[in-house]
Amino acid sequence: MALILKGFRKLENIALDPTITGALLFGLTKAPASIREPLLHQLSKYLSDENVTRFIKYLTWAWVLGFTGTVNRALNSWALNNWRWKSDKDKWMWSKEIAVVTGGCSGIGLETVRGLMRKSIKVAVLDIQPLPKELENYGNIKYFYCDVTSTDSISEAASAVRSKWGDPTILINNAGIGAPHTLLDTSNEWVAKIFTINIVSHFWMVKEFLPSMIKKNHGHVVGLASMASFVAPPAIVDYACTKAAVLAFHEGLDQEIKHIYKTPGVLNTVVHPSWVRTSLVGGYESHLEKTQGKLMKPEHIAKRIVDQIVSCRGGQIVMPKRLAVAAGIRGLPNWLQELIRDVTVGGAVSDFPNAKKD
């Protein structure tokens, strides 16, 4: 089944690539007869005249959709990079860049640290967990104990990073927690903890490291949000609230960078992964794969983050890409929004311990 789905996705990618569909459409309809007629002759071996006409019609629509999608992505990138087409790659020297990664000792954070290290970037790992032993002897990785729920701990770690290497130019707010439970089963202590780690710490970290980026007009802030930023599933309402806040945080940060600080060299990226095989879903992997599809691997998310950083472009990343349509759900009529939520997330908790059976 996995191979079949993979094949369908590859076919979909080909069908929506305007360079492929455009070239084929041109060859079948506008090319010189010496090119067009042999192509039509080959196609007629497999399709009737009527179906050849239909195929060309479908090909036209595939080209229109693919071209529209390509233009849309280009405009999105333009808008999310302070209305600039060109990146400032010449201003980034990876061996001299310094990245801070919170929660960098496990999961997506750990894989991101590895990816940045391979690009020769110095990486300051901020975590309450110890650094994995296999990373202890790398010269461009340095561990700093940091409890992101404490402003004093953040300030101490930030000072230690600056003393060791200087001002960081990349900040990745990755630290996060989550656990399934209903609103009524959520303790007051947990609410305070999850909001502090998942979003309040982003404010504190940015206040520590953004000023030097603004001063130099050079930097990149990355925040880990979630697909739950767009659709709040039951049983993780607290988590979804924090991730929606991460999205709002980065939207507002983008506006301040442009209109208040006027520093287009400071980039801004927010990442929205779907379900990922990390400790956050420990014990629920089988259930999630049965109801939500195959879980993504942390290294896939990390690679996309690192690729975005070395592209020297800001952006909004949805993974997997096919779920990008979820970002527009709030623009739909309420009845359609609720129908989508019921179908896509309701089933995921149908056998939750406190769920009543119909």
- Report pTM: 0.85
Question: What is the β-pairing status of strands 141-145 and 170-173?
Answer: unpaired
In this structure, the number of other CB atoms found within 10 A of the CB of residue 34 comes to: 7
For residue range 10-65, list pLDDT tens digits in order: 555 666 788 888 888 888 898 898 888 888 888 888 888 888 888 898 889 888 98
Maximum pairwise Cα distance, the chain:
75
Per-domain residue ranges for the chain?
2-79, 89-349
Q: Are strands 122-127 and 98-102 parallel, antiparallel or unpaired?
A: parallel
Q: Kindly state the tokens that stand for 295.
A: 């879980």
In terms of DSSP H, where are the helices of the chain?
Answer: 2-15, 18-29, 33-44, 49-79, 107-118, 151-164, 188-195, 201-216, 237-259, 285-292, 298-310, 334-344
Q: Give which of 256, 233, 232, 236 is closest to 244, Cα–Cα.
A: 232
CATH 3.40.50.720 fits 89-349, yes or no: yes
Does residue 164 sit in helix, strand or coil?
A: helix
- Given 96, 215, 243, 284, the catalytic residue: 243
Provide the pLDDT confidence category of residue 135 given band limits of 50, 70 and 90: very high
Q: Annotated catalytic, 261?
A: no
Set 96, 119, 239, 262: catalytic member: 239
pLDDT digits (tens, 9 = 90+) for 169-220: 999 999 999 988 899 999 999 999 999 999 999 999 999 999 999 999 999 9
Nearest to 208 by CA among 145, 261, 151: 151
Is residue 243 annotated as part of the catalytic site, yes or no?
Answer: yes
Amino acid at 108: I
Handedness of CA 248, 73, 117, 266 (dihedral sign): negative
